[in-house]
Every structure is written in C-alpha cells, then in structure tokens.
Structure 1
Amino acid sequence: MIIIKLALLSITDSYFDIYHSKLTAFISDDKQNKLQRFHLKDDYKRGLLADILARYLIATNFNIAPSAIEFYNNQYGKPYVKNLPYAFFNISHSGDYVFCGVSNMEIGVDIEKQNILDLNLAQHIFAPEEYQDLIILSDRNQLDYFYKLWTLKEAYIKYCGVGLSLPLHSFFFKINGGGIHLYSTNQLDSLYFLSTSVEQQYSIACCSNEQIEANAIEQISLHTIATFFQQYDE
C-alpha cells in the first residue's frame, strides 16, 4: 500500500501559545537548543512547527509514538527517521506556512512565498530552456511561472536527497497546461509532480513516485496535533 500524506500548518495558528510548552516536550534536547538560537519569533515558530508537523504525520501514518521518532540528516542534509527505514519525509517552510510530506517512498516538497521577480536570479538558477520559457511570458505570468519552476526544482533536488551536488542546470522542467515534464540525465524513476498554490501567494510543489492530487494537501491545526499528542503525555 502506497502512503503519501501532505499537510500545511500555519505559524499564525491561534493555539500556538496555548500548546507551546506541551509540544516542545516532544522534540529532542538538541533541537530545542538549536531553536533557542533564533532571534526572531517567526523563525523559532517555523523551526518548532516543522518538527512537530513531521512527528504528527509520521506518528499517525506509521504507528509510532511522536517522542520515539529520531530525526537525523544524511551527508547532504536531507532529513530521515533513524528508527523507521521505511518512512520518508520532507519539510519546507516559507512565510506563514510549514509544509510537510510523508510517504513510504522517497518524497520531496517545497513551498515559497511569492515576492518580487528577479530575472537575474532566474537566469542564474534556471536552465537555459526554463529561462527562455519564462521571459516570453507577461509580467504577472512570469511571477507565477518563476515560482512554479523554483518550487519544482527544489522539490526534485530534495527528492534526490543529494543537495546541490546535483547542479541546477543539469535538469529542466517544461510546463504545458497542466502537464509537468522533467528532462534530466539523472532521472532513474518515473516521477510525478504536483504544482499548486495557497492563498494565491504561496507556490507549492511535490515530487514522488506516485501521482498526487492537489486536494491531497490537508491544512492541519495545532489543536488537532496537540489533541493527538495528549495520549502520549508522560
């Protein structure tokens, strides 16, 4: 059975202050120490809630206590669960949202809040084929297309799990209507991509071995997570 779960959690969730102390009890001491180094509250929230959301999705889909989940990073920085070799997850955050994908296969996700379009940056990070497709579009369409490409490229790199040892120009995407096509010499699997948006200002992408529908993304509240965690309170 294939498992793919995608979820969004807002850092502006009104339950944050209510459940904050209870939720931090479930993360590792090392992660708590790292979070304390953040100077901005929003950075702290994103770091904490990314950990909490991943624990919730892994616990609810792989029948494990949230506090028993041990997070580690591979040599390229991709996170994995040490004691669950058949559980895969990936996290991204931007602006007010944390986005997480969990599966029993490799998965890569990305979310980006749309800001001002920088064509110089686009020329640097996109393959020539992608840049040419971008610059022929109208201004508004350029902004949307830029973030579609950016999140797709990030999701694919994170799926591969080798960081920027996979050069950004070694693969490219073509987006025609609703179709997303990857051209890469490194592509070993038949991959599927999801590209969608939230609130018309956040672009989201996911890379997986299985087809994913846009309505598969669930928006979860901290109350839901905290209620689930309560059964594991020591």
Structure 2
Amino acid sequence: MEKEDLKKLKTGYFRKRYITSRMVLKCILSRILEERSVSDIASYKDEYGKVHVRNHEELHVCISYTENITALAISKIELGVDIEVRKKRSLSNISKYLDKITFQSDKSGNDLDIFTKWTLKEAYCKFSNKSIFSTFNRELDLTNVAHSSYIIDNEYIFSLITSEGWDKINISLLERIACP
C-alpha cells in the first residue's frame, strides 16, 4: 500500500517528504502501540488522502506539509490539521478557493486572517474526510466543531479542528491567535 502511494509521487522532494513523514509516524506508533518494530506497522490512504493505520482503526492520523515543516497528529478522536508557511505571495491564488464573502470581507490585506481561514478550511476537509474541492467557494461552517489556530515562530500558521472539546486536546509551545 505504502509503496504504491510512494510510486505516485512525481518528484524526489515529495518522495523524500513522504518517506520521512511515514518513518516518523511509524517510530511514534511503535512506541504508542508497543510494536516490536516499525516494519510491523503499515499505513494506507483512503480515496481522499486520509492516512489510516492498518489494524488500528481506533487511531486517527492527520499529516500536513508546508515547505520543510511537517505537522503530524495522532489521536483517538477525529481531527484535522493543516500548517502553512506565512509568506508574502499573491493572495489571488488562495482567494479562488475561499468563499467570496470571506475574501471580500478582508479588503484590509491582512494575510494572517486569509491564511488562518485557509488552514482552517484545509483542516476541516481533513477532519470531515472530504475533498478540498467540496468546499470551494463555500463559507466554512465551524459551529459544530472545536477549532483553534496558532502562529509558530511568527512564520507558520497551524490550525486544528475536532468534534471533541478542548478538554481532550493537549497542545503546548504554540502561540494562540484569534480565530476568524
């Protein structure tokens, strides 16, 4: 399963990122699951790209990449995470994927708000196991989920979404920002 996913990746950069994230995932899981070896652990992706651990459906895994950073979440509750580098780039690329109301409401050019909304949208898609295409140009409804976003080193934005309350979530060493 993993080898087929690896073969689908077209560049060495993406293959290296895939191999590294899966090795880190397996090393962590080998300790959590008390498996003898990382080779005893196998992961696979479903049709929307959600990562699953074979024979451990009670675990939920979510992986996000941006440049040289990987966010990896392993949990017993459903969740979605996304991380993006906060860099000066054309917001027009992102604006076509955000609902028109959200993008028009932020004419101030505040890239933090735009990137936060984008990471929340991607995290929501991972949480709900839906394609990002299903949320294009739709306002994101966060009323029935717990969500939070963080700035890391004033360079990255990390967002997390889950249906559980924050009393079951433990995240540390991140600077919290206000969610839109």
Task: Specify the TM-score bucket, using the shorter chain as the normaliser.
Answer: 0.7 to 0.9
Unmatched segments (≥5 aa) in structure 1 = 1-27, 174-181, 184-189, 218-234
- Does the Cα contact within 8 Å between 1:195 and 1:206 map onto a contact in 2? yes
Equivalent of 2:30 in 45, 56, 59: 59
Contact persistence 2:59–2:74 (CA under 8 A): yes
SS at match of 2:111: helix
What is the TM-score with the length of structure 1 in the denominator?
A: 0.62
Count matched residues.
170
Match of 2:113 among 139, 145, 158: 145
Cα RMSD between the aligned structures? 2.7
Taking the TM superposition and a 5 Å limit, the aligned residue runs for 1:10-159 are: 30=3, 34=7, 38-40=11-13, 43-64=14-35, 65-135=37-107, 137=108, 139=109, 142-159=110-127
Bigger relative CO (Cα 8 Å, ≥ 6 apart): 1
Q: Is the contact between residue 6 and residue 18 of structure 2 (CA under 8 Å) also seen in structure 1? A: no
Deviation at 1:75, TM superposition (A): 2.0
Is the Cα contact below 8 Å between 1:78 and 1:158 reproduced in 2? yes
- Counterpart of 1:171 in structure 2 is 139
2:41 touches 2:53 (CA, 8 Å); kept in 1? yes
Q: 2: CA distance between counterparts of 1:118 and 1:71?
A: 35
CA gap of 1:145–1:125, structure 2 versus 1, over 3 A, is same
Q: Is the 8 A contact 1:122 1:131 kept in 2?
A: no
Whole-angstrom distance in 2 between the partners of 1:125 and 1:36: 24
In structure 1, how many angstroms separate the alpha carbons of the residues matched to 2:2 and 2:146?
A: 37
With 61-70 and 157-166 compared, the bigger mean Cα shift is at 61-70
Structure with the greater alpha carbon radius of gyration: 1
Corresponding residue to 2:128 among 160, 167, 179 = 160
Counting aligned pairs with the same residue, the percent is: 21
Question: Distance between the aligned counterparts of 2:124 and 2:12, measured in 1?
Answer: 31
The 1:109/1:29 distance shift into structure 2, 3 A limit, reads closer
Measured in 2, the distance between the counterparts of 1:106 and 1:160 equals 8
TM-score scaled by length of structure 2: 0.79
* SS in structure 2 of the partner of residue 170 of structure 1: coil
> Within 2, Cα distance between the matches of 1:125 and 1:32?
26
Q: Do the aligned partners of 1:81 and 1:87 also contact (CA within 8 Å) in 2?
A: yes
Question: Structure 2, unaligned stretches of length 5 or more?
Answer: 175-180
Contact 1:196–1:214, Cα closer than 8 Å, also in 2: no
